[in-house]
Structure 1
């Protein structure tokens, strides 16, 4: 886990749809800080500041709420599907020494040799649920596929998990495997593959259309 990032946020006084739209147009992200039996606090943060932290997969941040420092984890993020800009973010206050349950992304590393043998790499599970101390939350779980041959598979219970982190996702689930691709699938996927035949008129009908109309 990398060092915690510091995020400065400001309290949000005005609420509502119109105000939220105005903030976003100004390059700001509305959010909320909650947890630890304290009242939820609406906040706002600069999009250019929080975006690289979210993209990195970092979970734990040192939150500066107008001079008040709190340890928090990024709990939920809403992203615009077209612009990829962050639309809303939730921060949950935590004690660094308490256990939390979070989803951690799975990151594949390397090239599977099974692909060269006619296989296709299928990444089936993109995150797993873990519980650990707040300061131990991994940014991601790295899975090395450089030894994965044709037919090879890696399950959840075969992942390399950092000390102190407990996996809650079912161990028998497949994270990634290399499956054999049939010749037909390769042909259909290849550029210039045969297109469906367009069925037109019958031969007799075509000839009739081609024949000159008789003069009356």
Structure 2
């Protein structure tokens, strides 16, 4: 994953009032911690940071008063209603350093006719170099039939990435449609003609 460069400013004001003023100035309050150093309280540009934070485990190169800091996005706090970013926690890292992160798992393809897929785990924990983190991991369910299962051990990991999640963790369960699903489909099929029937005179 390529790192994203952002210009950051050190914050000297704290608290809810200061955070509101920062957001009015189109900035996002953030803190950088890790490696035993004192936390750095900074403000990040809202638009660029919001775009960068869309990716899981986004890697940021921050320019703070001319000094570069490499950091991973570890936690994002959002407004529960507006869903705008209110605060970001960043973990300082070094190039070549290995870190532990949770990576999203994405299903690719379609199961065989008459089967349904149930994703039991949406993320897996891996160890990888901070500058070479995969954005996501893919698992193909193309043509899979009912009764098949895919576990964490079935994931194809990029070079340099080690699986930390238990290899037997169930990722996808391929099964037959449940009785409830079949019942809902049947009710839908019966409801359509009934809706089209002319009203009695």
Give TM-score, length-normalised by structure 2: 0.84
Larger radius of gyration: 1
The corresponding residue for 1:16 is 15
Deviation (angstroms), 1:147 = 3.4
Partners of 2:158 and 2:119 lie apart in 1 by 21
The corresponding residue for 1:134 is 130
The corresponding residue for 1:165 is 161
Deviation (angstroms), 1:192 = 8.6
Number of residue equivalences: 190
Deviation (angstroms), 1:175 = 0.9
- Please tell me the root mean square deviation across aligned C-alpha atoms, in Å: 2.1
- Secondary structure (helix, strand or coil) at the match of 2:103 reads strand
Equivalent residues in 2 for 1:22-171, closer than 5 Å: 22-113=21-112, 116-117=113-114, 119-171=115-167
Give TM-score, length-normalised by structure 1: 0.79
Partners of 1:178 and 1:81 lie apart in 2 by 34
- Secondary structure (helix, strand or coil) at the match of 1:55 reads coil
Q: 1:66 to 1:191 in 2, by over 3 A?
A: farther
Unpaired runs of at least 5, structure 1: 195-216
- Secondary structure (helix, strand or coil) at the match of 2:134 reads coil
Deviation (angstroms), 1:25 = 4.1
Q: 1:151 to 1:80 in 2, by over 3 A?
A: farther
Deviation (angstroms), 1:141 = 1.0
- Secondary structure (helix, strand or coil) at the match of 2:23 reads helix
Q: 1:29 to 1:111 in 2, by over 3 A?
A: same
- Tell whether the 8 Å contact from 1:148 to 1:177 is kept in structure 2 after alignment: no
- Secondary structure (helix, strand or coil) at the match of 1:138 reads coil
- Which 10-residue stretch deviates more, 25-34 or 96-105? 25-34
Q: 1:82 to 1:191 in 2, by over 3 A?
A: farther
Deviation (angstroms), 1:183 = 3.4
